[in-house]
Structure 1
């Protein structure tokens, strides 16, 4: 399951995640506690003078009023509580002094020197004295120190919350970056293990999309989705606990939101998963097409296929746009609209309930502080809910992206072996080899020959005859279906692929150069190949003459595929690269087909020297370059139809003779 595998990846960096979650708990605790502090400040201190007071003889922490000292009952000592009771009651915007102890918190009105108080549906009247503005300030004076302390605590909670949120964000981002770094490394390393046939069936652009775009979507999962989901759930739990502690009846009403949100999440995921799969698929296809179009731009422009290419891309882009719009509608419905409507409904219901209770005189237990706290909690409650709902889209994108990434990681590969084998002597045997790229469609049929150490074997034949396929199975890019290939008497399938290739090198017809310098392309980053050795092998293949006009020599920059170099220069660098690794077996896959006559003569001279002690296979396009080969194999439709030296094959006047005559008489048919 994708979610479980993503979780296992996260557990590689659980320390950072646990620190982030601990910091998140601290931040949530501070945030959830702050409205309770505000409620305490409002109910106990700001509106706290509307309470029972006791007359005292101790002037400390007491209020002087009409020559007597009064202290709030909650601050009085056990002895002081035995004194005469007085009550301060608010009616409208004024405060009134009432002798005796009366209940507060109901609906109060003042007229004709009497205070009428409605409490729990019953009305009572008391003689009351209006307190002046200065008197109200005096009664407030004992509360100032408490209010200041609570304000400092309130501010401190915000500081703690801010620090916790920063710590949570930092460590969660750090963990997410490390997770994606590991995932991309795993993907790239796994690519090296995949067999060549895998790449035959999957465009490069789609693979690139999985390593870059899809992993970036997963990055959002760990940063945005994980953060919002965890913080949201902790916030919601904390807020509901606080709500139940304040008023369980109101909390139960607010709890009805959860089933609604759960139901909406189920509906959302049903459609979002379908839309996101299509979006990710089309992004991958567009990447593949862009990559292919850039690679083949000369062909597209030469054959005036710009319009058709544009129409194909527009079709992909149109489908992508269509599903993006569907996701937009789905997200618009879920994000602000749904949570906004629910929030307003809850607020209206709560305010109606509070106002109705106050007007009916049934507001026992309902205070201004409770009103503030609940409004604050409702606002805070919908922030994490909104954040969670807003992350549904990222969650679905990440799950779909994760599915695609893990599908690539699940492709069967082969571990890169570190086992080293002694240098081959170069004795190569093909024993009745059959091979096909597709099942039951053989491109090589009963290939049987022997190449002794130090021999040069040339493979010739028309296009599709099987020359390159012989090299593919020798290098173990593919394994033969029947028969066996032996090097120095050992079946190559019994050795790791990397061990087979350790003492082999190949020069392709279309050489591939990497972005870097000429030196880095010769050495391929192998520290054993120094600049001096690179210069020596370049000179050995005659490249010093062709590359001598380059300003920076070995440090000359090479851009993608060597686009700034001629085909001859690229081929010489590729040839020097192969020789730098001193292989026991050298394969030249039509290596001189793209080189001018002067460069070819230089390579021929270098080859004569370097073939000593090395078994060389040449896939020949120009038959004139293989006259000195020890053995020439003529292939036709996957079979060896002739074999021998150049002189022997010319004497037979068979297929090789016909191809040779055709080339030297100006014929147009290619031999390779």
Structure 2
């Protein structure tokens, strides 16, 4: 799973590979420019500051020459190839003073001391050379340094140039890396949201909305941290470490090999860290998702919570989740505190101890060929090794959290979605046939051998007690699900052979509790469909009688609507829902007890509009109030997933069966005959919940 997550993140990163490559090029240049500093310092120390102890030769040329007691002297490295050299002299340091030796010195290395005009060189307690020497004043010493100054100034200018390049490259690297990361996360969020739109309806039946929201917001934000902070630090760190080791090997191969022990220790530490961190972060992200879910659920059901005094229980449930979340957060804090700076300090101290031990031992046994400039540059470069290591180690927590979150995001994206087919189909007539259809959500069938026909322009009513299968028939018609047996056809075409989006394009629905989106009344009618003009929106609202009901609003049809339309009455929301269905001009219309929540006055207002709305369309009505479906062309009476009665209102009343009993119950009839009351009472009790229930 982890490797798969990494590969998929890489695939997203490659979608912005141009800017990533530009950032990496800038990063490489910046690292090289930054590491040039120690080499410049090494050059300055070895070839200029300490070069004063190299042999000097008397010369007649005054250019680039030091003047001492009326004679010109030039350092060995400053002579042109064809230039002649005079007598050799040396400048040697003993203690804090420098001395002029007017003769060649064969053994300058060792401990030096000066007394009575003689400079003595000893090594391991034995005198290796004695030379007549004259102390140099500060002015005389500077005369020998003066020829070095132009080169030193030049090196300082180079250092400043590389410093400016490093700053520019650092800015460019940061900008391009973060720009690339933002593009990647934008693409990932778009893909996640687009995939959610394609997920089947049953997916949302099993996963709380808060958990889905958490995946799209919190988890993708954590993935953003991966690209913006983690990868930036790791890319920078890896390239910087590689550059540092190249520099170390260029300075001294043996010291570079010794310093390689840092790499396996760092890798082992990261592997060990992630072993524990992944376990904690998986729980942390899961608990955060559950917290979002319970908050969302509590907000949605706040009125029920307060009416039934359920606050204490929901508060305790939230606190239990929050406590578990905090407990694992503290475990992560302890792990991070133990592994961050402690690791870097240990590695740094070990590395410096090893380098100093090696250098000291080589000096003591007289085998050292490492110059002071090399040692300075090596220590400087080695010190720079731990800055990127610190950055990488400090990002380990974000790395693991981001990978866990990315895994959760990709897990959501791996859920099988509905195929999206471009294009559309011509508006069909709406002749619907259910042919021996049986359907189960899980194992138990909720519809058994359902067969009926609905012709264009007909109104088909579905009645029955809660759980009888009314909503399941509508779900199959919308192809939210497909039946296990039988087939459904529209105008003779099997719906399984048609793309779901094409079928739904010519369907409309009005729910008992209509859903409105944030926007305006007009935007809730058109739902942003450019094919629906402003004139069509206003006409649809007028046709359903909304003009009179909504006329008192300050901005009329442009009145703002907040989430779910909570500032509007149930009747106003229902009118807008009717207007939406009318504006889209569907061939098949579903009314899910569309007038159940509307007062008598508003219901009377829209009854005529309903007749206009149903004209020429195949209309399915899920009915609880049987008085509203008396004019239906066909009534299907469902019981336990089967059609037990079928016909028009008068025909079913004449049968005096289940439909007749439910109708009489709703009309308030006491009984038809005394002997029938005893035989039908149990049945009446079983169906009494039908009047106020939902399918």
Q: Name the TM-score class by shorter chain.
A: over 0.9
**Matched residue of 1:511: which SS?**
coil
Q: Is 1:131 paired with 2:97? A: no
- Alignment equivalent of 1:276, drawn from 274, 278, 281: 281
RMSD of aligned Cα (Å):
1.8
CA distance in 2, matches of 1:11, 1:68: 68
Give CA-to-partner distance per residue, 1:537-595, whole Å, 9 cap, x none: 11111111211111111211111111111111111111111111001110001111111
Aligned to 1:607: 610
- Alignment equivalent of 1:389, drawn from 390, 393, 399: 393
CA distance in 1, matches of 2:121, 2:518: 88
Q: In 1, are the aligned partners of 2:466 and 2:689 still within 8 Å (CA)?
A: no
Q: 1:72 to 1:426 in 2, by over 3 A?
A: same
Aligned to 1:428: 432
Q: Is 1:649 paired with 2:668? A: no
CA distance in 1, matches of 2:14, 2:542: 53
Give CA-to-partner distance per residue, 1:629-667, whole Å, 9 cap, x none: 111111111111222222222222222222222222299
Scaled by the length of structure 2, what TM-score is found?
0.93
- Alignment equivalent of 2:374, drawn from 340, 363, 370: 370
Which moves more between the two structures, 92-101 or 465-474? 92-101
Q: In 1, are the aligned partners of 2:592 and 2:622 still within 8 Å (CA)?
A: yes
Q: In 2, are the aligned partners of 1:73 and 1:81 still within 8 Å (CA)?
A: no
CA distance in 1, matches of 2:108, 2:19: 52
Matches for 1:95-110 after TM superposition, within 5 Å: 95-102=98-105, 103-104=107-108, 106-110=110-114
Offset of residue 436 of structure 1: 1.6
**Matched residue of 1:89: which SS?**
strand
Which moves more between the two structures, 314-323 or 75-84? 75-84
- Alignment equivalent of 1:334, drawn from 336, 339, 345: 339
CA distance in 1, matches of 2:437, 2:457: 22
**Matched residue of 1:435: which SS?**
strand
Matches for 1:77-116 after TM superposition, within 5 Å: 77-80=80-83, 82-102=85-105, 103-104=107-108, 106-116=110-120
Q: In 2, are the aligned partners of 1:119 and 1:361 still within 8 Å (CA)?
A: no
Matches for 1:488-567 after TM superposition, within 5 Å: 488-567=491-570
Q: Is 1:182 paired with 2:187? A: yes
Q: 1:390 to 1:105 in 2, by over 3 A?
A: farther
Offset of residue 670 of structure 1: 3.5
Q: Is 1:35 paired with 2:43? A: no
**Matched residue of 2:418: which SS?**
coil
Scaled by the length of structure 1, what TM-score is found?
0.96
Q: In 2, are the aligned partners of 1:630 and 1:645 still within 8 Å (CA)?
A: yes
- Alignment equivalent of 2:63, drawn from 41, 52, 60: 60
Matches for 1:258-273 after TM superposition, within 5 Å: 258-273=263-278
Offset of residue 494 of structure 1: 0.8
Offset of residue 81 of structure 1: 5.3
Q: Is 1:144 paired with 2:158? A: no
- Alignment equivalent of 1:290, drawn from 288, 295, 300: 295
**Matched residue of 2:392: which SS?**
helix
**Matched residue of 2:225: which SS?**
helix
Q: Is 1:463 paired with 2:449? A: no
Aligned length: 670
- Alignment equivalent of 2:262, drawn from 251, 257, 260: 257
Offset of residue 248 of structure 1: 2.2
**Matched residue of 2:131: which SS?**
strand
Aligned to 2:490: 487
Q: In 2, are the aligned partners of 1:120 and 1:364 still within 8 Å (CA)?
A: no
Which moves more between the two structures, 50-59 or 78-87? 78-87
Which moves more between the two structures, 369-378 or 443-452? 369-378
CA distance in 2, matches of 1:280, 1:121: 69
Which moves more between the two structures, 374-383 or 97-106? 97-106
CA distance in 1, matches of 2:193, 2:102: 84
Which moves more between the two structures, 203-212 or 107-116? 107-116
- Alignment equivalent of 1:204, drawn from 200, 204, 209: 209
Give CA-to-partner distance per residue, 1:47-75, whole Å, 9 cap, x none: 33222111100011111100100111100
Q: Is 1:437 paired with 2:441? A: yes
Matches for 1:168-247 after TM superposition, within 5 Å: 168-247=173-252
Aligned to 1:623: 626
Q: In 1, are the aligned partners of 2:109 and 2:121 still within 8 Å (CA)?
A: no
**Matched residue of 1:82: which SS?**
coil
- Alignment equivalent of 2:576, drawn from 552, 560, 573: 573
Offset of residue 433 of structure 1: 1.1
**Matched residue of 1:47: which SS?**
helix
Give CA-to-partner distance per residue, 1:17-43, whole Å, 9 cap, x none: 111111111011111121101111122
CA distance in 2, matches of 1:111, 1:363: 28
Q: 1:460 to 1:104 in 2, by over 3 A?
A: farther
CA distance in 2, matches of 1:314, 1:594: 37
CA distance in 2, matches of 1:252, 1:47: 27
Q: 1:274 to 1:65 in 2, by over 3 A?
A: same
CA distance in 2, matches of 1:56, 1:363: 35
Aligned to 2:167: 162
Q: 1:106 to 1:219 in 2, by over 3 A?
A: farther
**Matched residue of 2:312: which SS?**
helix
CA distance in 1, matches of 2:558, 2:113: 94
Q: In 1, are the aligned partners of 2:467 and 2:640 still within 8 Å (CA)?
A: yes
Q: In 2, are the aligned partners of 1:27 and 1:165 still within 8 Å (CA)?
A: yes
**Matched residue of 2:445: which SS?**
coil
Aligned to 1:411: 415
Q: Is 1:310 paired with 2:312? A: no
CA distance in 1, matches of 2:120, 2:365: 12
**Matched residue of 2:591: which SS?**
strand
CA distance in 1, matches of 2:22, 2:580: 50
